[in-house]
Every structure is written in structure tokens, then in C-alpha cells.
Amino acid sequence: MTVLHWATLSPFLIAILIPFLYKYVRKVHTGWFVLLLPLTLFIYFLSFLPSTREGNVIFEHLAWVPSLGINFNLYIDGLSLLFALLITGIGTLVVLYSIYYLSDIKEKLNNFYVYLLMFMGAMLGVVLSDNLIVIYVFWEVTSIASSLLISYWYGREKSIYGAQKSMFITVFGGLSMLGGFSILYVIAGTFSIRELIANADIVMASSLFLPAMILVLLGAFTKSAQFPFHIWLPDAMEAPTPVSAYLHSATMVKAGIYLVARLTGVFGGSPEWFWIITIAGLTTLTWGSISAVRQKDLKGILAFSTISQLGLIMSLLGVGSAAFYFQDGDNALYTTAILAAVFHLINHATFKGSLFMAVGIIDHETGTRDIRNLGGLMTIMPITATVSLVGLASMAGLPPFNGFLSKELFFTGMLNATEYGIFNLETIGYIIPIVAWVASVFTFLYCMIMFFRTFTGKFDGSKLKVDHVHEAPIGMLVSPVILGILVIFFGLFPNVLAYSLIEPAMAGILPGILNPGEFFNVHISHWHGFIPELFMTIGVIVLGALLYLTMSKWQKTAFYLGERDIFNYAYDYGYDGLIKGSQWITRIQMTGRLRDYFIYMCGFMILLIGYTLYKFDLPSLDSMELSPIDPFVWIVAIVFIGSVIAVPFINNRLGLIITTGVTGFIVALFFVVFRAPDLALTQLLVETVTVILFMLAFYHLPKLKKEKTSKGIHAIKLIISISFGVMVTVVSLSAFSMGSTAGFPSISEYFTEFSKELAGGYNIVNVILVDFRGLDTMLEILVVAIAVISIISLIKLRFKGSEDV
């Protein structure tokens, strides 16, 4: 393994040590030990910046399951490096913040940091892996780890509800995505993303292109909370604030963004990819921004604002994918949307991370996040208020912060789409900038609501859950202040990122558009003159301010009071229906009667094998291969059939045991007739012991009482019995005749030929059991040994009083 592999897996390795550190080093907060890892990884990944800036790609190979095309291959280009830096950089600040946020010694910090490191490692695996199956493995680990983090305070019902919802929705998407990956393998014969991009023309020409694309997008949309799968994200806010700041600013929700960006090189240029992603993104942007206005909880506002911002980035990736149609990387008309997506991805991580941490501080110091109980905190918590003002102004798109620049580029990208002249954009394309502008108005509005309702007005301590409100300790302020400074710095000097992060990431999203040695022309400035984007921004500010100033007239409407997302009701009804349906099926299946279980199992086997026989034109019988049957065998067979038919009509247990024993002894007689003395001996011994044991056991039981059952049940049992017998007979005869009808050699010939040569034995049956099926026999012996140990334990165990309860 290379250094890059060890770096990717290091969070998992350190997670193993956390419980020991927590147990034996109790005087030092566990977070201080954890902090060293993301900081080291961040510095390590920074060392790749010069290489990716030159357009180089670092590729490291590690075979895993090469026979299936599954290898743990890692590669770093501009796109993967950007995400790796976000994961480790924001991760460092989150761990530092958590040390002070979770300072209570009663907190189970070992669990928290183990889950956090699992999540960090899984996210690094997702963004650095080249193999789709490896990505899927890490993808599902992110779902598991995030659910564990969301349910960290598992004593709260809402935490469990939020964890379950996120798990169900994201795992559903992950399984769909796995189906899409499998189809891509069928099309291109590879799981490698780089090879898929190189063979994108083959993928797009395939009839399976659309199913593969839709299944992959289901995974991306569920993970990145795109409409209508967005409903899990607000409930995930029950997690501790450091978790929310990490998952929803730079990591989990960005995994879907990364997948769409990475696979744009495979699917980009098709109208389906363009319209599905663009429409989903704009719908999510609009619905999220409108829903955020209705929230009363600060984390609720941030949750829906995250949904909205993710929709914004997704819509930019959709619009920007049209660049593959034109294959012209130098024309900013087609690539501005991708530039805006990458830039806003960075900006969102900075301002949203700082806002989550600021909200955590408010909750930590006041005991509430309800804006109806807050107000006047600006003078009491001036640093938190300043950080919040910077973050909200950036998210609202106000100069001179970084969010203003990426929002202007967003408007430019949406306006440019109307000039593409493809995919019917010359007509319905004008809806795109209109929807983008309307959503931006609501974005500005909820930013104003969040700031002014929290920090301005009159302070009323009687509504709070604490006696004394004060500014947070310096340790808790360091991380949000650093992010706030980055918001300002990237706003004032955006071109610091132009060719270090943004341009290489664009090249990763749009591979093959540029010629070798060429670069995208990335230049970000604050002033472009009096252009439509500027007037759109002025309109957003004016209309947003008017809506806020007139809130008293509409805040009592059903729109504002309906805080809970209506799509949650669909989830709740579906979840309840799933539970009730499973309970109904369980009541039908789990009756407690062995008879019913046999009916289900035998019925299923009859249907499955019967369909198989029908599907492949079986049975295939060849009477020419059958040996003549002696009259003696017919007599034995008649006795056997008679003893079987007699069983249902016997009411005495001992009589039942003896009759079934007769059938077993007759089977042994068949083995003798067909020259299998060892099998006959085994059958006789087993049958004798079984009959004796059953007779000893059942002799002391009460008299057998037959259960009263309807004639319908008897008919079902009769049909199942006859059908199963016929099925076994037909399958046996078909297997016997298969050699002559289909040309397949008999397996017995192989054993006859190679028993002596390969196994050194003349007794074919023994050789089969001990050598050819040695592993099977060993496992059977293991099962018997476990059963024997269990029986001995039950015999020796003596319960006293209520020990067996």
C-alpha cells in the first residue's frame, strides 16, 4: 500500500484507538488526540496543489478483487483534491469546535469520535477512489456513520427518528446507485471511472444509458437531499452541532454533488442529463429557500438553506454539462456554470460551516434555538453576531463577501443557458433564470429573518432556559471566526483560488474538453459594469427587504405557520404502511405451526422449480436410458407407497413412528437392491436409533389429539404433497435423462474415473464425502458438534427460581 492509501484509511485505523484513549487518558479531552489526524491529512493533501495546478493526475493502484475488476485504486486530480481539502480542513475546525462544545465529561466522547472518524475516512474514500464498487462501499459507510452521528443522543426520540429517516432514504439511493454502476459495467466492461470517461461514447450509445443514468442520479439526489428526497436533512439536525456543521457544509451532502460532478464526463452532453439535473436543482433551490422562510428553529433555517444551496450547485452542474455538447472549453458562455458551481462549493463550506457553529454557540449559551424566544443578542454576544452577519451576508449574496461573487456567477450561468440554442433552451430556457431569481429572493429573506430576529431587538432573558447569557469561550469561537475570515478573504481576493483549486477542479469535471497543456480562463472580479446580473441582485435585495418589512402582514398566514415540510407526511404514511404491511405478512407467515412453514417452503419450491421446468422446456425424459425393473422391486415399491399413504390415517403416536420407520427401512432395502451397502447400513443405523428414541420419548406424552381443520386445509396439504412428490420425480428423471438429450456427461463418470487417481480411494461414496465434498462434510460435522454441545449444556444446566425467565 502507498502513502495515499494509508492516508485514506488512517481515520479508520485511528478510530480503533479511540476507545483505549478515552478509557485510559481521561484527564485530556479525546478530541485533542483526534485533532492531529485531520490537521495532518490537510497538510498532506496541500502538498498535491502544485501538481494538480499543472494538470497532473496522481494515480495509485492496489489490487483487491482483480478477477471481478474491483481494485482499490486512488487518484488525485483537481476535483478530488478540492473535496479532500474540504473534508480534512473543515474536519479540523469541527474537531476543534467539538472539544469545547462537548466538554461535558458525561458525554460518550469515544462513540462520538469513532463515528466522526469513520465518516471522515468514508468520505475520503468516496472522493479519492477510481473504482465504482469501492466508491459504493465507502458511500454506504457514510450512510451508516452519519446515522450513528445523528442518533448520538439516542435517548431522544427525534434523534432516532432522524437517524432512521436518513438511513432509509440514503441507503435506498445507494442501492439504486449500485444498480446503475452494475449497468455501466455491463455497457463498458469496467468499474474504473477514468476508463468509463474514456469510453463515454460507448456508454451514451448504449440502450442501457438512460436506466444507468437514472439509477446513478437516485443515489446522488438522495445523498445530496435533492427534491423530493430532501426530507431527511432537516431531521438530521437533531445531531450535535459539530456533526451538523461537518455533514451539511463540507461532507455528506456534498457526496452527491461530487458524484454528479465526477460522472459528468460520462453522461454530460446528453439532454436527459442536462434537464434532469437542472430541473431537480432548481426545484430543490426554490423549495428549500421557501421552506427556510417558514422555520422558527435556527438549525431548521440552516437545514433548508443547505437544501436550497445544494440545489443551486446541482443546477449549475446540470447547466454546465452542456459544455460537452459544444466541446469548447475556451468559451466562457458554456463553462461559467461549472466555474460558479466549483466556486460556490467552496464558499458554501465556509459560510455554512461558520453559521452552524454560530448557531451551536447560541444554543449552547442560551438553551434555545427558537427565534421567537431570541433577540437582542448582538450586544451580549458580539463575536457570534459578527460571525453570523458575515456568514448570512455571504449566503444572501451581498458584497464584498465570497457568496456575492459566486451568486453573480450563478446568475451569469443561468442567463447564458438561454443562449445555448440546444435542448429547446431557446424557448423554455428563459424559465431557468426566472426561477433562479425568485429563489434568490427567498434566500435573501430567510437570511434577514435569521439575523434580525436573533441579534436585534430587545433582549428578554425570561424566555431563555439559562439564567445568565454570555459570549462563548474563546476555544469555541476559534473555528467559526477562522471560517468567517475565509469568507471575507475569498470575497476580497477570489483569484487566490482561481488556478490553485477552481481551474483544476473544472478540468476534473469537464475532462477532454481542453487540449493538452491548455487551461480554463478563470478570472473572478467584483465589477463587470451595469449588466443584467447586477440588476437581478438589486431586485433580490429590494424585494427581499420589502418582504421582511411587511412580515407582520403575512407571518400569521398558513404559509408561514406551516413549519413542517408537507413531504414528511408522505414519508410517515409510507413508513407506517410498510410496518403494518410487514406485520400483516408476519402474522400470516409466523403461525407457530410447523405444518404451515412446510406448506410455505414446499409451495415456493414447487412454483420456482415448476416455472424453471416450464421456462426451459423440461422435463426431458429418455426411456431408452432406463434399466428394466424386477418384479421384486415393484413389490417393495408398492409396500413403500402403502406405508406412506397410511401415515395420515393413523391416530396413535407409536403407530405413526413405526409406520414412518417402515418407510425408512424400505429405503434401506432399496439401497441394498441398487448395490449401495454402505448407504443401506447408514440408513438402517440412523433409522433404528431414530425409531427407538422417538418411541421412548413419545411413550410418555399424552394421547394424540388431531387438530380440527377444514376440508380446504386438507385439500391444500394433499395438493402440496402430491405436487412436491411429482416435482422431485420429474426433476430426478430429467437429471437422469439430461446426458442423452442435452449431451451433458454424467457426473458419476467423473467420480468413477478420478476417485482412485485424485483421492486414492476405491469406495466412490466415501471419496465423495471425504474428498470431493470434504468442506461440506466438515461443516456438517461442525453443525452436529454444535448441536451436541447445546444438548449437553441443556442437560447439565439447572435453573433455579426465575433464572429461565
State residue 805's pLDDT score: 40
Judge if 745 and 610 occupy the same domain: yes
Judge if 599 and 713 occupy the same domain: yes
Which of 302 and 656 is assigned the larger pLDDT? 302
Judge if 682 and 798 occupy the same domain: no
Which of 489 and 558 is assigned the larger pLDDT? 489
pLDDT digits (tens, 9 = 90+) for 682-698: 888 888 888 888 887 77
pLDDT digits (tens, 9 = 90+) for 363-397: 988 888 889 889 889 989 999 999 999 999 999 99
State residue 530's pLDDT score: 87
pLDDT digits (tens, 9 = 90+) for 76-119: 999 999 999 999 999 999 999 999 998 765 678 888 999 999 99
> What rounded mean pLDDT belongs to the chain?
87
Residue 559 predicted with pLDDT over 80: no
State residue 804's pLDDT score: 44
Tell me, yes or no, whether 502 lies in a domain: no
Judge if 660 and 801 occupy the same domain: no
Give the residue-averaged pLDDT of 775-790: 85
Which of 552 and 706 is assigned the larger pLDDT? 552
Tell me, yes or no, whether 626 lies in a domain: yes
Judge if 639 and 728 occupy the same domain: yes
Query: Which of 261-270, 406-415, 631-640, 646-655 has the lowest average pLDDT?
Result: 646-655
Beta bridge partners of 70: 65
Q: Put residue 801 in one of left, alpha, beta given phi > 0 → left and psi -120 to 50 → alpha.
A: left
Tell me, yes or no, whether 267 lies in a domain: no
Residue 327 predicted with pLDDT over 90: no
Beta bridge partners of 60: 74
Residue 547 predicted with pLDDT over 60: yes
The three three-digit cell numbers of residue 607, written as one number:
412454483
Judge if 597 and 729 occupy the same domain: yes
Helix axis angle, 298-320 to 271-293, nearest 10°: 160
Share of the chain above pLDDT 70, in %: 94
Residue 34 predicted with pLDDT over 90: yes
Q: Put residue 29 in one of left, alpha, beta given phi > 0 → left and psi -120 to 50 → alpha.
A: beta
Query: Which of 253-262, 623-632, 642-651, 657-666 has the lowest average pLDDT?
Result: 623-632
State residue 791's pLDDT score: 81
Tell me, yes or no, whether 356 lies in a domain: no
How many angstroms separate the CA atoms of 243 and 237, rounded?
9
Which of 698 and 513 is assigned the larger pLDDT? 513
Q: Put residue 577 in one of left, alpha, beta given phi > 0 → left and psi -120 to 50 → alpha.
A: alpha
Residue 801 predicted with pLDDT over 70: no
Give the residue-averaged pLDDT of 26-49: 92
Residue 133 CA: distances (Å) to CA of 12, 98, 417: 19, 33, 34
State residue 517's pLDDT score: 75
Residue 149 predicted with pLDDT over 90: yes
Judge if 684 and 714 occupy the same domain: yes
State residue 139's pLDDT score: 96
Query: Which of 134-148, 270-284, 462-476 has the lowest average pLDDT?
Result: 462-476
State residue 802's pLDDT score: 46
Residue listed under C-alpha cell 431531521: 235
pLDDT bracket for residue 156 (50, 70, 90) = confident
Among residues 753, 778, 793, which one ends one of the domains?
A: 753
Among residues 737, 753, 769, which one ends one of the domains?
A: 753
pLDDT bracket for residue 672 (50, 70, 90) = confident
Judge if 726 and 804 occupy the same domain: no
Which of 637 and 405 is assigned the larger pLDDT? 405
Judge if 772 and 747 occupy the same domain: no
Q: Burial level of 515, CB count in 10 A (0-12/13-18/19+)? A: exposed
Q: List the alpha helices (DSSP H) in 367-455.
A: 382-396, 402-417, 431-455
Judge if 655 and 765 occupy the same domain: no
State residue 423's pLDDT score: 80
State residue 800's pLDDT score: 52
- Asked if 522 contacts 506 with a C-beta cutoff of 8 angstroms, the reply is yes
Judge if 681 and 728 occupy the same domain: yes
Residue listed under C-alpha cell 495515499: 4
- Asked if 138 contacts 174 with a C-beta cutoff of 8 angstroms, the reply is no
Q: List the alpha helices (DSSP H) in 457-566.
A: 474-492, 503-509, 532-549, 551-554, 558-561
pLDDT bracket for residue 331 (50, 70, 90) = low
Question: What's the total number of domains in the chain?
Answer: 2
Query: Which of 284-293, 413-422, 672-681 has the lowest average pLDDT?
Result: 672-681
pLDDT bracket for residue 626 (50, 70, 90) = low
Q: List the alpha helices (DSSP H) in 129-270.
A: 132-150, 157-188, 193-198, 200-205, 209-223, 232-235, 241-247, 252-267
Which of 256 and 686 is assigned the larger pLDDT? 256
Give the residue-averaged pLDDT of 17-44: 89
Residues in the chain: 805
> Which residues constitute the domain of residue 700?
592-753
State residue 520's pLDDT score: 87
Tell me, yes or no, whether 90 lies in a domain: no
State residue 745's pLDDT score: 67
Judge if 642 and 715 occupy the same domain: yes
Strands 74-76 and 58-60: antiparallel
How many angstroms separate the CA atoms of 124 and 127, rounded?
5
Tell me, yes or no, whether 792 lies in a domain: yes
- Asked if 188 contacts 208 with a C-beta cutoff of 8 angstroms, the reply is no
State residue 434's pLDDT score: 94
Tell me, yes or no, whether 46 lies in a domain: no
Residue 245 CA: distances (Å) to CA of 41, 207, 242, 780: 19, 42, 5, 53
Tell me, yes or no, whether 602 lies in a domain: yes
- Asked if 39 contacts 14 with a C-beta cutoff of 8 angstroms, the reply is no
Give the residue-averaged pLDDT of 554-579: 84
Give the residue-averaged pLDDT of 388-411: 94
Give the residue-averaged pLDDT of 428-451: 93
How many angstroms separate the CA atoms of 241 and 244, rounded?
5
pLDDT digits (tens, 9 = 90+) for 730-769: 887 777 666 555 556 667 778 888 888 887 887 877 788 7
Total Cβ atoms within 10 A of residue 658: 15
Residue listed under C-alpha cell 439536525: 237
How many angstroms separate the CA atoms of 454 and 298, rounded?
9
State residue 622's pLDDT score: 60
Which one of 182-186, 604-608, 715-719, 774-778 scores highest in mean pLDDT? 182-186
Share of the chain above pLDDT 90, in %: 51
